[in-house]
Structure 1
Amino acid sequence: MDSRALNRATLARQLLLERADMSARDAVAHLCGMQAQEPQEPFLGLWSRLQGFKAESLDDLMQQRQVVRVHLMRRTIHLLTTENVLAWRARHDAMLRQKVLGVYRRELDGVDLEELRAAGLTVMADGAARSMSELVGHLVDRWPTIPPRVLGEMLMSALIPVVQAPPRGLWRAKGGVRNVLLSQWVGRDIDSVCDDKALVRRYLAAYGPAAVADMRAWSGLAGLPQVVADMRDELVTFRDERGRRLYDLPDAPRPDPDTPAPVRFLPAFDNAILGYDDRSRIIDDAHRGLSVAGERVVLVDGRVAATWNNDSVTPLRRFSRSEQRAVDEEWQELASFLR
């Protein structure tokens, strides 16, 4: 598949080729979650993807506990449906621990992580919403040599599955991070086993065609090459322009490369970009740094061509008159939503 064909397939899977007539909940589920360390950004991502999206619809889903804010893929905060996080959390457990140990291995040397986990669960078992510092305050006397920040990071982002409870993450609401046990928040225990093949299918439906390296870049998970190898009979394969082997679902949309792509304004850290190891399908290598720097970007003809903030759009290349007109029109629609 050449770059343009791959681009159009990506836009179609990411609901960016045309706005989808689906609910916010179904969109979050289809996208396998939305990166959400910046609490307001998922609202912008859904506005660009859904017909008639209203911010209160996502607020309602969070308050009704149908979608939740949790640490998951790559140990970053994601907004996921309750069903997805319960199905996938166990599979991410080892990765989450290793991510924290990769930063704080010296500080946590010799610590029994299961003992630390059990102590944290005991504190959180009453169902109260707590900040990280409030949880750690109950444990510092037991682990006095470990910096409180390190204890908190290991507990809240790896050892204990927790939800960041509203008002954190609501539209234009202010509130610090307060955590509640995931199982208590949603009234159900985490699934003990994750169906790896189902997870790969879900990823390909939203991000394919993709290489195994892309799947790992999105999830942070190890062990996926063997999973994909075991699925070869049910997948189709392609080569991209860089010679990488791409996998896909047989009946997934792969639009004509000449399909027009509308202007789209993406939020910071949008997974349409970060969901891949090789991001050249949607962003030039020269601008790759924008995707990890928290810049909001504008897609023109399906590719990153500008950055934006609440006040202005800054092109990365010269626009034609028709492109500038399309950017201006979409910018005005977005400004109306933001007002």
Structure 2
Amino acid sequence: MLALWTVLLLFSAVQSQGCWNPRDVHIGNNCYTFVDKIHTYSNARAYCHSVHASLAGVQSAIDANFLAANAGSQFGVTNGDFWIGLSRAGSEASFKWDDGTSVTFTNWGPGYPNSQNYVAESIANGRWKTLAGAAELPLVCSYDPKEVITTGSPMKTTKVTKTSVVPTKQASTTRGTRLQSGSTNQSPSFTTSQPVSNSCPQGFKFSKLTKKCYIVVMYGDDDSYPDVPTNAPPLTREQQRCTKVGATLATIHSQEENEFVRTLFPENVSYCTAGLRNINSSSSEGDWEWIDGTKMDYSNFSPSFPKPNDSIVQIGHGFWVTYTRTTPLEGVICMK
């Protein structure tokens, strides 16, 4: 473990250098995004594709140790696994990297690979194991910042590498139509199975506690929305989604309200953004305020959150996490 933390110290000076976001870490030719959100393998890959990256490529023992050390630091744990971008189509097939590069280095732990097909790395020692794709783990994305053309924000980035990454399409669910991550020129979809109650519009769900109507809108792509300045306040883009359905971003002021909004999540959506934002990113813990100007009088942060430099709050499996942006595969909680 000492060797891992030595690697972390050696490379701490290159964090964010040339990367899209201040929390990304730069080593060699790549930047790495550490996502402390659990996903199945296919959803983890789609998550990275939605921000124009790939599940992490690992090309050397230095890379492997570097990722393990940083994952432990950023996820706030000393054990556990995270997804990287190596997988195969079946037990007899060859392993391939998500970004299309050749497999010239492997770092298998004892007894691996086994009959499973999706590769995770250990935080404890940087070794790899093969797991079932249905396992839910945090993940690491990677990208080469020199191989992109930016037009204002990472979400509008166009890859120009020879090997293009096609976002994984997500199937529709019985609880509502979801945007496919590669779609363009489409309005965000929202759940439609909820019954109309107390004069709520179709698709909204009524809360007896707050006497308001709520809905989760899938974030989708930015193509059907007006551009916003890069220095716009946090949640400006998310608020666009709510405005389009005649609502505003939801505020949460009690445990009961928190539990209620979790019942709105469409199937297979793990994180949804609420209307809480950091109005002072220079503070060590931030200054969190609801989009309607009210102060945070209730919170349900997971351990190690909120994190410095993060700007928004997302509701997960009963706990809140902080992050820099919402991605197309996630939801936005709206109310009216």
TM-score, length-normalised on structure 1?
Answer: 0.27
From the two aligned structures, give the one with the greater helix fraction: 1
TM-score, length-normalised on structure 2?
Answer: 0.27
